[in-house]
Amino acid sequence: QVQLVESGGGLVQAGGSLRLSCTASGIMFSINDMGWYRQGSGKKREMVAVITSDGRINYPDSVRGRFTISRDNAKNTVDLQMNRLKFEDTAVYYCNARYSKYEHWGQGTQVTVSS
């Protein structure tokens, strides 16, 4: 059974930092591309950061320079360090694992940034 469990969400003031962590089980973690996505209220889910199985990283312009994704294949974890948070970063953040046609999602963790 595949499980992606996120942790680290919460309430933070604008300009602050949070670190999200996702622990995976039931998959061959090292061969999966891992990512963080978010969905704000009334908005579409969007990619926040992706790190491929061979370490390539991609960010959208909205978070580049503020967010950092990292993975630890020995611990089956993928983290998202979020700095200089803005009100518009408020959303539910989801962990994603993708390999070939297989894709899995975590339950999500709420991040709320107060202005």
Percent of the chain with pLDDT over 90: 99
What is the mean predicted confidence (pLDDT) over 1-5?
96
Residue 115 pLDDT: 86
What the block records as the tokens of 46 is 């969007």
* Residue 66 neighbours by CB under 8 Å, 6+ apart: 82, 83, 84, 85
What is the mean predicted confidence (pLDDT) over 18-44?
97
What is the mean predicted confidence (pLDDT) over 23-32?
96
* Residue 69 neighbours by CB under 8 Å, 6+ apart: 34, 35, 36, 49, 50, 51, 57, 59, 78, 79, 80, 81
What is the mean predicted confidence (pLDDT) over 51-77?
98
Model confidence at 63, pLDDT cuts 50, 70, 90, reads very high
Percent of the chain with pLDDT over 70: 100
